[in-house]
């Protein structure tokens, strides 16, 4: 069974986290959510800490982030959601940066959505196709081949734009982990309108 580690922090965008988590679970992917603390917040030491997301929704993660328990030897996919504050916490974490490089280096998958794509820059990934929320486009377009496509696949790196592209992002991750047939199996009961382009 494929497995995914989905990071969460205070300020994570709710839709990007929950839609990705839910869609992967529907495909039979074993998902674990892991709370990444703000390095400046000395009160977030209880495990698991409740993450207060960008719109105030509180989510209880499965675990408290531990780099030694989060590697590509344990999971097939690492997901970094957006939300300005949450994405900043994750992308500036040296441990998360190291993890991103490890996953990419050994050929595992890394999904980044919205401002979460900043982690590609801070992790010093090489120049390649990428997308993000427009609010961080300027920070990324010099170091990457920037695209405004809803989802961009570049080897093991999969990026997307924001809450409105969370479903195609999540379904793309399903396809990459479980195959095209599983993607269609998961998509059908979600009852998207017939004109939905993904």
CA distance 166 to 150: 9
Per-residue exposure over 51-71, b if at least 16 CB sit within 10 Å of its own CB, e if not: bbbbeeeebebeebbeeeebb
Q: Give catalytic residue positions.
A: 16, 114, 133
Strand duo 151-154 + 3-8: pairing: unpaired
Structure token pair of residue 180: 């095209």
C-alpha to C-alpha distance for 14 and 72, rounded to whole angstroms: 25
CB 152 within 8 A of CB 159: yes
Q: What is the DSSP string of 112-127?
A: EEGGGGHHHHHTTPPS
């Amino acid at each position: 069974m494929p497995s995914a580690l989905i990071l969460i922090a205070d300020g994570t965008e709710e839709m990007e986290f929950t839609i990705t988590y839910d869609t992967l679970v529907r495909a039979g992917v074993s998902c674990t959510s892991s709370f990444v603390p703000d390095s400046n917040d000395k009160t977030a030491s209880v495990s698991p800490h409740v993450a207060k997301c960008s719109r105030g929704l509180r989510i209880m993660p499965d675990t408290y982030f531990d780099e030694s328990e989060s590697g590509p030897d344990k999971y097939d996919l690492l997901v970094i959601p957006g939300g300005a504050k949450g994405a900043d916490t994750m992308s500036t974490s040296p441990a998360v940066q190291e993890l991103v490089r490890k996953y990419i280096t050994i050929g595992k998958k890394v999904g980044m959505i919205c401002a979460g794509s900043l982690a590609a820059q801070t992790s010093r990934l090489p120049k390649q196709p990428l997308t993000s929320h427009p609010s961080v486009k300027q920070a990324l377009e010099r170091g990457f081949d920037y695209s405004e496509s809803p989802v961009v696949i570049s080897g093991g790196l999969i990026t997307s734009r924001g809450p409105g592209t969370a479903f195609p992002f999540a379904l793309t991750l399903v396809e990459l982990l479980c195959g095209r047939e599983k993607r269609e199996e998961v998509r059908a009961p979600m009852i998207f309108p017939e004109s939905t382009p993904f």
